[in-house]
Amino acid sequence: MLHNQLPIVSLDDLRREMGVAHSDSTGQGHVIQRAQELAKRYAAAQQSFVWNATNLTADLRSKIIGLLSVYNPFFKITYLETSRENVFTRRKEDIPRAALEKMFRILDMPLAVEGQVLVGAALLVLVRRGAPALADAVAERRGGYRRGS
C-alpha cells in the first residue's frame, strides 16, 4: 500500500477539527489524547497508518514508539526538511514566529536506532504483523521506556 493511501493521524487536522489553538495547552492535551487513541486503534487492528506530527525531540518520538510497542509494530521514521523561511511562511497563521524559532532550537535529528527504517518531522508508523518491536532498543539508547517495566 502506498503511503498516500494510508490513514493519517494528524495533530494539525485534529486541532482544526477540535477547534484547538497551538497556544492552548489544555486543548493540546486533548488533541494528543485523541491522536493516541486513534493510533492505538490502528495498531491493535494491525492497520498500517501515518502519524503526521512534528516530533521534534527523541523523547517525543520514543513516547509514541513506547505507546505502540505492545502491538509489535514496524516503525519507519521520515524526516522532512525545508528552509526556515518556508516554515515561517507556511505556518505564520497557525504558530507565532517565536514559537517556530524555539522549535528549530530544540530539534533532535532522528537517529537510525529510533526506527527499523530512517528515511530522512513526521513519524511514519507502518504496522505489520510479526515485525520486531523497537521500543527496547530506543529505551536502551535513550534511557527511557522499557517494554514490560
**Residue scoring higher pLDDT (148 or 113):** 113
Residue ranges in the chain assigned as alpha helix (H): 11-18, 25-44, 58-68, 84-91, 97-106, 135-142
The identity of residue 11, as a single letter, is: L
Cell of 56: 521534534
Enumerate the domain spans of the chain. Answer: 3-140
Other Cβ atoms within 10 Å of 95 Cβ, number: 18
Count of alpha carbons within 13 Å of 43, Cβ hemisphere only?
A: 25
> Sheet harboring 122-126: ordered strands across?
8-10, 49-52, 122-126, 74-78, 117-118
pLDDT tens, position by position, 13-70? 999 999 999 889 899 999 999 999 999 999 999 898 888 887 788 888 889 888 998 9
Give the per-residue pLDDT at 139. 39
Considering the chain, what percentage of its residues have pLDDT values greater than 70? 72
Tell me the pTM: 0.69
In CATH terms, 3-140 corresponds, of 3.40.50.300, 3.40.50.620, 2.60.40.10, 3.30.70.1290, to: 3.40.50.300
